[in-house]
Amino acid sequence: MYRVFEALDELGAIVEEARGVPMTAGCVVPRGDVLELIDDIKDAIPGELDDAQDVLDARDSLLHDAKVHADSMVSSATTESESMLNHARSEADRILSDAKAQADRMVAEARQHSERMVGEAREESVRVAAAAKREYESATSRAKAECDRLVESGNISYENAVQEGIKEQQRLVSQTEVVQSANAEATRLIDAAHAEADRLRGECDVYVDSKLAEFEEFLNGTLRSVGRGRHQLRTAAGTHDYATR
């Protein structure tokens, strides 16, 4: 190919240096030199064309090989990507299954724990209620017995005072000068008996009120215990819901 360009350059130089024909655009060139250059071009072109064709064939072969290699790489990459995708899907399914099983297990454990706590709270409430009822009945019975005893004692003291007053009145009734004094003493004794009875009733009321106050404090403590149990139960239920989510 180099000889073709060289011969063309020489041919161009001959044409540029040729003597022109007057009154025309033509020129006079050495025929032999021009024909010789043309022959050189003719001789050089087939070999260069063969070389160019070889280059083109080599290029096509390289392009074909590159295409086959690229197709092979694409197919291999596609197969590998599909394998990786299937593996990733299998792994994701396995992880999802493990997570679901773990969540189910945690839910079951939380449900068992909550049911156990509810059962214990119910048993404790029943026990506390029974104890409170027994304490209430015991306190009420003791208060009633003490009240009855105090009332009975007051009645006895009242009856004794009345009897003493009557006796004293009967003893003094024959003595005119001391009748008024006897009546006053009898009235005083009767009033004292009434006052003693009122005092005993008041003490009975105070005693009953104190026992009821103690029972009220016991019931308040029981209610606080039940409230704490319910709060623990709600807290455990809230923790179970958060873990589930």
User: What are the DSSP E strand ranges found in the chain?
Assistant: 19-20, 27-28
Q: What is the pLDDT along the chain (245 residues), one digit of tens a residue?
A: 566 778 778 888 888 887 777 777 787 788 888 888 888 878 777 665 666 667 777 888 888 887 888 788 888 878 887 888 888 888 888 888 888 888 788 878 878 886 887 788 778 877 877 887 787 788 778 867 886 887 788 778 778 877 887 777 677 665 556 667 767 777 888 888 788 878 888 887 888 888 888 888 888 888 888 888 878 877 876 766 655 65
Model-wide pTM > 0.75: no
- Name which of 203, 210, 213, 211 is nearest 150 in CA terms: 203
CB 10 within 8 A of CB 36: no
Residue 218 is encoded by which pair of tokens?
């016991």
> Alpha-carbon distance 90 to 54, whole Å?
53
Domain total in the chain: 1
Q: Which domain holds residue 14?
A: 2-244
> Alpha-carbon distance 232 to 235, whole Å?
5
Task: State the burial class of residue 153 (Cβ atoms within 10 Å of its Cβ: 0-12, 13-18, 19+).
Answer: middle
The model's pLDDT over 160-182, given as tens digits with 9 standing for 90+, comes to 877 887 777 677 665 556 667 76
